[in-house]
Amino acid sequence: MSVQMQKPTTRVCERCGRTERWDNSQSAWQHASDSDRGHPHCIHEWDINGSFTPYE
């Protein structure tokens, strides 16, 4: 039985609401939508925390 590691595919800033998605082709986080870019000077606090379970 093999353990599979899960990676987050989306993230949301808990301060300004900026939403990003993981783009495998660029190996980087990208804006999920052009209309919701959040605050430009926000020090983002992403919603990926201790409640995310990386292993199945």
In a domain, 22, yes or no: yes
- Residue 47 is predicted with a pLDDT of 81
- Residue 6 is predicted with a pLDDT of 76
Distance from C-alpha of 48 to C-alpha of 1, rounded to nearest angstrom: 27
How is residue 13 written in tokens? 């800033």
In a domain, 10, yes or no: yes
In a domain, 33, yes or no: yes
What is the count of structural domains for the chain?
1
The whole domain housing 17 covers 1-49
In a domain, 44, yes or no: yes
Distance from C-alpha of 27 to C-alpha of 36, rounded to nearest angstrom: 21
In a domain, 56, yes or no: no
CA 23 to chain CA mean position, Å: 10
- Residue 1 is predicted with a pLDDT of 62
Going residue by residue through the chain (56 aa), what tens digit of pLDDT does each one get? Answer: 677 777 788 888 989 989 999 999 999 998 887 766 788 789 988 887 666 666 66
Distance from C-alpha of 50 to C-alpha of 39, rounded to nearest angstrom: 25
